[in-house]
Structure 1
Amino acid sequence: MSLEKAQSSESATKIQQPQETIESPSHLNGEDDEKGPIAYRMRPALADIFKTKTIKEIIQSVLTKTLQGKKYNVEDARKWTQEIADSISTSVKDLNMPRYKHVVQISLGQQLGAGYRYVAKCSWDAECDSYTSDVFSNASLFCVCTVFGIYVY
């Protein structure tokens, strides 16, 4: 009788584990998914490269639309730089360049007859990363806009 009690108490303490099969994603098994084989991309596809020509046209359009006929004013300059940067950033984002991050840099100043030097140094992959820049100026102000595109591995 004590043996039966021991067996029954053993069966009472056993917890039934549900039988579940967990399948790993197909790309982990080396199989193709519906888009084709998954591979780690070290370079952008030709169609996905940083679109410097299109971005330069965006920069020119936004600078002209925002600054044409304007006179330099410190308070307005703060507002204009923010508007320009936001507008260009949104337009570049809408180009849908996969795995690219971008930085928009704006420099706006008053025309006083003095020279202006603009230098940018970057540490990047020259095959994938790129930039484009444009300048707008009138009798009262100047604006330099640069958009950097960095491919994320």
Structure 2
Amino acid sequence: MNKERRLSSRRARPAGQGCAPSYSICAEIPRHIGVEFKGAGHDFSSLLREYLPTKLANVTYEPAKCASLTLALSEEIKHLVKQVTPPRYKLVVNVTIGNKSKDETVDIVVTSRCLWDPHSDNFTSSQYVNETLFCVVLVHAVYFE
């Protein structure tokens, strides 16, 4: 067997065939057994709709204050949503707070793109507006194998 290896390693390769051929794999992402989460997105969406007014109703927009408020809100929302999220899910929480003038309407679009499994991963968003600020929250729940 060692002689066969030596012989095969001594063979010259034809020109242009120094690399192994590449293949593209087109396979469907396997569904996870026992992962039932698609309906649960509505549960934490309602949690966010109840939570945001209680935290932001009496807050006025101040840039320095809202910077620390954004961090605190994202941590609190993560802990709140984690209580209703099945195990093995990783949560990503994005909180955006901005200034709202009394004379202007708020026209802002917050978007995100993710690569995920549509059978097991989920997301929700919620927003809150008062007289001086707006807040947009995005929560992504990604199944971790």
Describe the SS at the equivalent of 1:144. Answer: strand
Residues 1:54 and 1:44: Cα distance change in structure 2 (over 3 Å): farther
What do you get for the CA RMSD once the two structures are aligned? Answer: 1.9
> d(CA) in 1 for partners of 2:125 and 2:109?
14
Deviation at 1:147, TM superposition (A): 0.4
Describe the SS at the equivalent of 2:48. Answer: helix
Deviation at 1:42, TM superposition (A): 4.3
Moved more, 81-90 or 109-118: 109-118
Deviation at 1:45, TM superposition (A): 2.5
Equivalent residue, structure 1, for 2:56: 67
1:75-119 Cα deviation digits (max 9, x unpaired): 221122122111111112222512111101000000133631211
Residues 1:53 and 1:96: Cα distance change in structure 2 (over 3 Å): closer
Does residue 151 in structure 1 map to residue 143 in structure 2? Answer: yes
Equivalent residue, structure 2, for 1:49: 37
Length-normalised TM-score, structure 2: 0.69
Identical columns (%): 24
> d(CA) in 2 for partners of 1:119 and 1:49?
22
Residues 1:61 and 1:79: Cα distance change in structure 2 (over 3 Å): farther
Say how many residue pairs are matched.
112
1:30-82 Cα deviation digits (max 9, x unpaired): xxxxxxxxxxx942536x41521121122122211110022111122112212
> d(CA) in 1 for partners of 2:85 and 2:107?
37
Residues 1:54 and 1:104: Cα distance change in structure 2 (over 3 Å): same
Equivalent residue in structure 2 for 1:132, among 121, 124, 138: 124
Does residue 123 in structure 1 map to residue 115 in structure 2? Answer: yes
Which structure has the larger Rg over C-alpha atoms?
A: 1
